[in-house]
Chains A and B, each alone.
Chain A
């Protein structure tokens, strides 16, 4: 960004902040705007009718910390998994790992494998949902398809009823595996400090091995679908690589000891926009690297790389802005730990011009690469002789103080931190969820997409979808609060003129 542009940006930001604050003051007496908690994009135009700045607002869960105070730490994996119906298993696992750390206890080898098995199953299921159902309409049906077709039924129309049935049945079977270990998928009860509460019975192994095989077939099939429908279409590829959807930021994600992608455990690695390693650290040191910035127009705290500081919503090596999630994980790693996924990984970077890839929409492809990895890990773990071991718990003996746990949730890095008194009762709890890590880059993406689409007061009719596509690629979790009817995120886009008068409102 040139200094002049930067100045204009900052100026626009200040104006918009004032307007947003004024708007919010008005909002408090306007009952309709109680929907404010949901997704909202405010677009402010300048006097020429071009975009001054666009803001994405997403709700933040309130009261979590207060609710946690005084509760036994052991309840946290259950409580945190209950606050969000979207990724309960990710919260459950991050919470469980925070308990390991709190009680300074290592899970047994078999327990670790069971956790990894359940976790990869969850990743597979969640990614499949996104590829086919949530993100699918953008690419499988197509970004320019009529609105009536850009939905799950349109996806089934395109891939066929049989494939649709396969997606549904695959997802159900994967969830049965999660439920085998954790009871209800939505409220899993599996992780304990130092282990898990349930092992795998030898007699149940064959049916899960069969599931594993089908899962891998399904993941490879999905890659083929993606190649056939998306990559063979030059228009889609151009869209993926277009400047509108590109940001040169840093990336963060977990890697194993060989710098390969790992969803469950490892060290956090950060690479700069040139792909060079900037930092590598254990979860326990995350506070040295991750800080949160507050803007008056948003409830969300924007994470940034603490050593670099907050310099606004900017790209480049000096900016503290970083991204997480599938694309980030591929960018921070040196490869995948399993063969089919490794091949898909190489294909990904060869096609998109080498590492790192900065195209936000490439997240969809990266998600498919990760599905293959998850499936291969499921196969490996279910053929590991130790998976049916009954040695699934190390009993903790240390006095608790502070525990930090991290996993790679489908949407990116998820941190849990608990502090307790000597009895193990919570005195402080903090979560940093994936979408917070991504919040700054998502805001930049929405802003950039809006700028690219609106000119001289003319609002392109495809605006809503094109702007939505910018953040849908991140699979953002507005979490927790948004499952009230109508059952999907009511996103509204408000466009304001120079005088901050609402000139257009689009509701999805």
Chain B
């Protein structure tokens, strides 16, 4: 995979940051992670240590994508029902390393990182998950729900800020 790893002005290698947008582009609000990642890409185009990827995959398949980066920022949909649509939940670091138990299908992000560590792969040491509260991620369709659409500018601000902060 192409990675940008130019040194910063003081000669130290810059932190390599990956923004990974997750979602399904034809599953209504579930597409939010992809949509935000694509928009952030334009905004951080001048940051040579930031890579932006979008993926519809999950679990173990993501392991191949994250190897080689120092910091991982994930933006995905989440549905807790406890926050307004468009709210950005932030989950950081240690909360993820605590392994969730097995699931029938999917390997959680925490499990994926733990597996990467165990297999001596260079997985990110800092992880920041941004979960955007969504309304309807279950209906097949190409567009976001109006509430979520309205929240896009604010979500974009927030995610961009987190990425720039990680890259600084």
Chain A residues in contact with chain B, CB under 8 A? 31-35, 37, 39, 59, 61-64, 66-67, 79, 82-83, 85-86, 129, 133-134, 137-138, 147-148, 150-153, 156-157, 161, 164-165, 168, 171-172, 175, 185-187, 465, 468, 471-472, 475-478, 480-489, 491, 508
Contacts and interface: CB of A to CB of B under 8 A. Distances in A.
A488 B108 contact: yes
A477 B63 CA distance: 21
B136 to A, nearest CB: 9
Contacts, number: 166
A446 to B, nearest CB: 12
Contact of B119 (A35, A161, A483): A161
Contacts of A137: 102
B140 A483 contact: no
A485 B141 contact: no
B3 interface: no
A185 B59 CA distance: 14
Contacts of A66: 140
Consensus secondary structure, chain B interface: loop
Contacts of A157: 118
A165 B108 CA distance: 19
A31 B81 contact: yes
A156 B115 contact: yes
A31 B82 CA distance: 7
A416 B79 CA distance: 30
26 contacts: A35-B81, A37-B138, A59-B138, A63-B140, A67-B26, A82-B24, A83-B26, A150-B101, A151-B114, A152-B111, A153-B111, A164-B119, A168-B60, A185-B61, A465-B101, A475-B105, A477-B105, A481-B137, A483-B23, A484-B30, A484-B76, A486-B108, A486-B109, A487-B58, A487-B106, A489-B104
Given A62-B140, A161-B119, A186-B56, A485 B78 contact: yes
A33 B103 CA distance: 20
A262 B23 CA distance: 33
A392 B76 CA distance: 39
Contacts of A64: 140
A112 to B, nearest CB: 27
Contacts of A483: 22-24, 30, 58, 106
Given A133-B60, A185-B57, A151 B109 contact: no
B99 to A, nearest CB: 5
Contact of A508 (B25, B64, B101, B111): B101
B107 interface: yes
Nearest to A488: B103
Contacts of B59: 487-488
Interface string B120-139: 10000000010100100111
B141 A484 contact: no
Contact of A152 (B56, B115, B138): B115
A67 B141 contact: yes
A150 B129 contact: no
Nearest to A59: B138
A187 B25 CA distance: 11
A153 B25 contact: no
Interface string B87-118: 00000000000011111111111011011001
Nearest to A34: B81
A171 B57 CA distance: 14
Contacts of A175: 61
Contacts of A150: 101-102
Interface of B: 22-27, 30, 55-61, 63-64, 76-82, 99-109, 111-112, 114-115, 118-120, 129, 131, 134, 137-142
Contacts of A63: 139-141
Contacts of B105: 86, 134, 475-478, 482, 488-489
A97 to B, nearest CB: 21
Contacts of B82: 31-32
A37 B103 CA distance: 16
Given A85-B56, A85-B57, A489 B103 contact: yes
B32 to A, nearest CB: 10
A482 B106 contact: yes
Contacts of B58: 85-86, 483, 487
B138 A83 contact: no
Rank and list the top 10 A-B pairs by shortest CB-CB distance, nearest first: A488-B103, A34-B81, A31-B81, A488-B106, A63-B139, A67-B140, A63-B140, A487-B108, A485-B78, A137-B102
Contacts of B108: 486-488
Nearest to B75: A485
A161 B76 contact: no
A486 B100 CA distance: 9
Given A468-B104, A475-B104, A485 B138 contact: no
A62 B104 contact: no
Contact of B78 (A138, A151, A186, A484): A484
A150 B30 CA distance: 29
A444 B64 CA distance: 38
A152 B107 contact: yes
Given A164-B115, A471-B104, A481-B137, A487 B56 contact: no
Given A168-B63, A186-B55, A485 B76 contact: yes
A62 B27 CA distance: 9
